[in-house]
Each structure stands twice: as C-alpha cells, then as structure tokens.
Structure 1
Amino acid sequence: MSEPRDPSLAEDAGELAVEGALRPGSLAEFIGQHKVRRQLQLLLDAARIQQRPADHILLSGPPGLGKTTLAMIVAHESERPLRLSSGPAIQHAGDLAALLSSLLPGEVLFIDEIHRMTRSAEEMLYLAMEDFRIDIMVGKGAGATSIPLDLAPFTLVGATTRSGLLPNPLRDRFGFTAHLEYYETAELEQVVERSASVLDVTVPPVARAEIARRSRGTPRIANRLLRRVRDYVVVHGGDAGSATEADVSAALDLYDVDAIGLDRLDRAVLDALIRRFRGGPVGLNTLAVTVGEEAETIESVVEPYLVRIGLMGRTPRGRIATPEAYAHLRVPRADEALRIDDL
C-alpha cells in the first residue's frame, strides 16, 4: 500500500508550477526591455547560424527585472541545457572547478549574484571563459603542480545587482553586457494581464493599472501583488475569478502596500527620517538601527526606490527626506526640508 502524500508537498509543487508558468518562455513572450531583447536575439541568431555556443552574457540591474528568466530563455532558444548556480554557493576555486568540469558541450551556465564569488574562484573563471581551460593545483608548497584541464565549450550567463563590484578582468571577458531598466507602468500592465491569464483570474484594465502603479517598476513585485489580489478574491467571494479595482485596493491595503508602492519598511524609514531626525541628514547605520533592520537591506532594497521616486536624497552627510516625503506621509514641516543642492 502506498503511503499517503504530504499535502504540503503537493501545495509546494503547485506553487512552483505556477511560478514557472508566470515566466515567459521566449524572447517574443518577454515583456519590456526592448533593446536588450533585440540585442540578445541577434547574439543568439548569430551563434545558431555559425553553429557555436553563444558569447558569454552579463545581465545587470535591480532585483526582479527578469535576469534569471532571460538566462532560461537563452538556454531554451539555444536549445541547450541550463545549469543554475550562484555566487555565494561558489566559495572556493574547487567548487567552481567541479562545476565547470561537469558541463556538457554547449551547456549554458547561469551564475546569479556573480559579484559575490570569492577572488580565487573569479581568477579561475578568467581562464575558463577565455580559453575553456582551468589549471588544477595538486599538492602544496614547493612541490605543488599545476595540471591543465580542458573544458567543454559553454556559455556563461552572469547576473548581478551590483556590477560595480565585478573586477574589470571578469567584466571584460563577457561578450555582451546588458543593463535592465525599471519598467514603465504600461509595460507592467501587460505583465499583469499575461500573469492574470495564467492564474485564471480576470483583472479589468483599471484594476491592472492599479496593480502596476504599486509595483515599483518591477515585474516580480507585480506578479506577487497579483497573487495576493487573487487570494483576496478567492477568500472574500464575490465573482470568483474576477478582481475589481476595489478588490485590488482592499487587498493591497491589507498587505500595507500604499498607492505608490511603499510598504511598511519604506514608510518606517521615511517616518524615522522625518520624526526622529527632522528630515536628516542621518547616517545609514543609524537609520538602520532606528527601524530595526540590517543596513544592507535599507541600502539595497529600500533606498533605491525611495531615491528614484524623489522621497529620499543621498548626500555626503547622510540620507535626507525630501519635501515630497513630508507630503506623502502628510507630516507638516516645522521648517523647510533640506534639499540635496543645499548641502
């Protein structure tokens, strides 16, 4: 007699299937990033015509814009297998050597957060990318010997959110470097429309626009918010499978996502800047301690969006809240807020 299946495993498998279905499978299906798509299409077409692996590709840009999806598309359209790894997982040169030596001819290797690889692994990768060869050190001290190991030709797709941390020798070995930009609201509406059809939920145009406006220019966030709206519609009945603008507002308000996409942490940072530090300037670490978060989280997750929409400024003396931040939180100013140009 077979053992009963764990319902949680079935649920996880279902969620993974949905997550995979939300990812576009080809460049033609991929929404936004029009210039990058055309450049990638040319690179892949040239490699196919010449019957060779595509050049190494570096994808940079903020999280959630589709770097992993593009790597999957590169493998799919090249009709090659895909191997997934990440920079933090490659802590020693031996880890990278084991990974590279197991690649099949023409395989696509995707390394996420490639800037977080160790220095020794980066140096090994230089030779592997250029000559499809690595040198394995055997022994220690004066008796150590270097043994060359030939690799099968492969295509490396690296993804990074902080391209400035990549050493120049590594960056120069990529045949094509693309920077992904934040999405416009109209493009995010297309993302929501496509994802809604996959999730089998009807979202009218006005409701799609509301989700797009709160998605911070990021498709990953748009898909996440859409799934929360779907959950709200399922739980609160009504026309099951159909989300109205009121449903969108109610669901996202419940999850503390306001009209311009700020969440609880974003507002906590702005509130601390304004109420505790009178608009700043204040140092990053002090601000992080005040809101009970890691400084890296504030710097990499919260700050870029607040700066981009003009609610926070970065100055040599620290972070400041702009007049627009006071207006958004509806906090009266006792005096004129500091402006970047004044410091």
Structure 2
Amino acid sequence: MSRERDLVSPDAEGDERAIEAALRPKRLSEFIGQTRVREQLSLVLESALRRGRPPDHVLMSGSPGLGKTTLAMIIATELGVPLRLTSGPALERAGDLAAILSTLTEGEVLLIDEIHRMSRPAEEMLYLAMEDFRVDVVVGKGPGATAIPLEVAPFTLVGATTRAGLLPAPLRDRFGFVAHMDFYDPAELEQVLHRSARLLGVKLPDDAAHEIARRSRGTPRIANRLLRRVRDFAEVRAGGTITKEIASAALNLYEVDAEGLDRLDRAVLEALLVKFGGGPVGLSTLAVAVGEEPETVEVVAEPFLVRQGLLVRTPRGRVATAAAWAHMGLTPPPDALGAASPSPTLFDEP
C-alpha cells in the first residue's frame, strides 16, 4: 500500500495509535460530533449511575476512524470503572474468551473490536455471559465431557464493528443500546482540528482548518493525520506558520486533492473515464487497468468514490457519474449518469 493511501486510510497502525491516544477526548462533553449518539449514550450512562448498576451492553457500528474506540474509553471513564480491550480475531477459541471474562471485576467495561470476526465457539459462550453473567467451561472430551458453570462479575460489553450486517441476529439482539456512527461534516471536522491543534501546540487559522477538513473524507482520524503532515510541511518550508495556502500546498504535495481523493482514487476514475468511456466495466478489468488487486479497488477506493457520487456499482459493472467527469476536468458524454438523478436501472445492485 502506498504512502499516499496510508495518508487517507481510515485505519490506524503502529505508532499512530500512540499519537491518537494523546488526542482522544476523555469525557463525553469533550467528544465532537455524533450529536444524537452522544445524547442517547449520555442518558444510558446517567441512568446506570443513578441505579448503581452496569448499563446495558453497547454495540457501535460504522467505518474506521469515526470514534468507536474513543467512545468505549469514555464510557469506562464516565462510569469510573476499568476498561479491558480485545478484538474479535484474537478470540479464536471459547477458552480465550473465558479467560478474559473470568478475570473481569464488577462493572468493568469490555471492548471487543471487530466483534463480527469472533469465532463461533466464543460467540456462543458470549451469549450466556451477556444475559446471565455466567459461562459454561467444558472439561474433558467426548461422552465424559462435563460443563462446569462459572459465575462472571456483572460487566458491560461494548462491541465495535465496521460490518454490522455480518453480526448474527442472536448476538445483535443482546445489545441494549445500538449506535451507528456517521461520517462527519466539514464544520465538525474543523472543531476536531482546532482541538487537536491546541493539544499539538499548533496555531491553526480557520481557513486552514477548513481546507484540511474538506479533504479529510468525513473522518476525524484522517483529519488529524493530515493536520500532522501540514504541520511538518509548515515547519520545514514555511517557518512553522500554517496558512490556507500552506495547508493546500502540503496536501497537494501528498497527492490529496480538494475533495479528499488520493492517487489511487484518481487512477480508478481516470481509467474508468479515459480507457473505458465511463463504463460499465468489470471490477477485475478496472483493477488490471490501474495495476492493483481487485480487492484493493473494491475495498479501499470504491466506498469513498461511491459515497461522493463519483461512481456507481451496477449489475453490468462500474459506471462513472457526470460528477466524476467534472472532477477530472473532462466533458461528460450526453448519456453520462447524472449524480443527482441516477437511472434506476443502473444504480446499486441488490
């Protein structure tokens, strides 16, 4: 994966997680955006504190980088209890989950990231733990196997997922509060950037914050990453002063354009428009044209292009919209698919 793609990737890896930790809000009142989720969660937590009992289990879904892990940490902080973190892929066996559940203290918050990727045995054990705060540990094999019930301290499970549709209904129904995290609008991202700039000791004018926000793909994680790259550019080439022009020059250098598209996004659009006349074209053919794997194009580039109204997926293949032609500075043909009123026969496949 190229460095340009790393810059606008919603995932965080390696050292970036440590940097993110320093920028995370610690309280619900400090959390920016997700107004409805924040208000609903506030009521859930306040009610639990007044009753002196752990709140209902919480499920949060949405794209990476929107604040699911941050909210889980805030839940634990607001309740004044410890937070235990794990992930679905790490729970390969029921015993892995049992080892965690058996050591939880009363009221503790357990975050399972990418909960839809849990193994089936661990998932089935979790059902009983969520409802009855009990797990059955199987000892032995075959006809002589014995299930030993093990009490679990009352806890609150926070499940985070980027693929809510992959969660089995029995698991989804056991969550008392379900929240979907939406993408941020530029005004909200500007607030995020101003807060992060203060923590980083960076002076960020409003127009520069707006320039960064509009290129951040609606994702706070990407906004903070672009802010750090703009800061680096300003320190090396502009005496540490950030202006709108400096921010624009920095992001242009990193190949993030005014709408947040990077090199791969533009390569997909260019191939679709110039080589295939706007489509329809199959995914595999399009991937070969840009020199990437089909999965990379489908998972990494397409979701943002579709969300921006630049590309639609149809039963016959990928089709560029009139907005895509305009974005690439090309004249659309008369029959180009209009982004505002797409043809019902060409729009997303069932």
TM-score norm. by structure 1 comes to 0.91
1:7-156 → structure 2 map (5 Å cutoff): 18-156=19-157
What letter is aligned with 2:308? Answer: I
Contact kept in structure 2, 1:313 and 1:340, CA below 8 Å:
no
- Could you say if the C-alpha distance between residues 16 and 313 of structure 1 is closer, same or farther in structure 2, counting changes exceeding 3 Å? closer
How far 1:305 sits from its partner (Å)?
Answer: 1.6
1:227 corresponds to 2:228: yes
Please give the alpha-carbon distance, in whole angstroms, between the structure 2 residues aligned to 1:296 and 1:85: 27
- Could you say if the C-alpha distance between residues 121 and 287 of structure 1 is closer, same or farther in structure 2, counting changes exceeding 3 Å? farther
Instruction: Give the secondary-structure state (helix, strand or coil) at the position aligned to 1:156.
Output: strand
Question: Alpha-carbon deviations, 1:156-187, whole Å to 9, x = none?
Answer: 10111110000000000001000011111111
What letter is aligned with 1:109? Answer: L
How far 1:278 sits from its partner (Å)?
Answer: 2.4
Question: Alpha-carbon deviations, 1:54-90, whole Å to 9, x = none?
Answer: 1100001111110010001001111110111111111
Partner of residue 280, structure 2: 281
How far 1:91 sits from its partner (Å)?
Answer: 1.6
What letter is aligned with 2:311? Answer: M
Contact kept in structure 1, 2:115 and 2:160, CA below 8 Å:
yes
How far 1:309 sits from its partner (Å)?
Answer: 1.3
Question: Alpha-carbon deviations, 1:272-300, whole Å to 9, x = none?
Answer: 22233322223334433443444444333
Contact kept in structure 1, 2:184 and 2:219, CA below 8 Å:
yes
Matched length:
330
Please give the alpha-carbon distance, in whole angstroms, between the structure 1 residues aligned to 2:15 and 2:89: 28
Q: Which sections of structure 2, spanning at least 5 residues, go unmatched?
A: 1-12
Please give the alpha-carbon distance, in whole angstroms, between the structure 1 residues aligned to 2:50 and 2:205: 43
Instruction: Give the secondary-structure state (helix, strand or coil) at the position aligned to 2:323.
Output: helix
Partner of residue 160, structure 1: 161
Partner of residue 202, structure 1: 203
Partner of residue 252, structure 1: 251
Partner of residue 272, structure 1: 271
What letter is aligned with 2:174? Answer: R
Q: Which sections of structure 1, spanning at least 5 residues, go unmatched?
A: 1-11
The CA RMSD over aligned residues, in Å, is: 2.0
Please give the alpha-carbon distance, in whole angstroms, between the structure 2 residues aligned to 1:75 and 1:192: 25
Instruction: Give the secondary-structure state (helix, strand or coil) at the position aligned to 1:28.
Output: helix
Please give the alpha-carbon distance, in whole angstroms, between the structure 2 residues aligned to 1:283 and 1:149: 53
Please give the alpha-carbon distance, in whole angstroms, between the structure 1 residues aligned to 2:127 and 2:294: 32
Partner of residue 7, structure 2: none
Contact kept in structure 2, 1:133 and 1:149, CA below 8 Å:
yes
Please give the alpha-carbon distance, in whole angstroms, between the structure 1 residues aligned to 2:273 and 2:119: 40
- Give me the identity figure in percent: 66
Please give the alpha-carbon distance, in whole angstroms, between the structure 2 residues aligned to 1:63 and 1:327: 29
Please give the alpha-carbon distance, in whole angstroms, between the structure 1 residues aligned to 2:158 and 2:276: 44
Partner of residue 8, structure 2: none
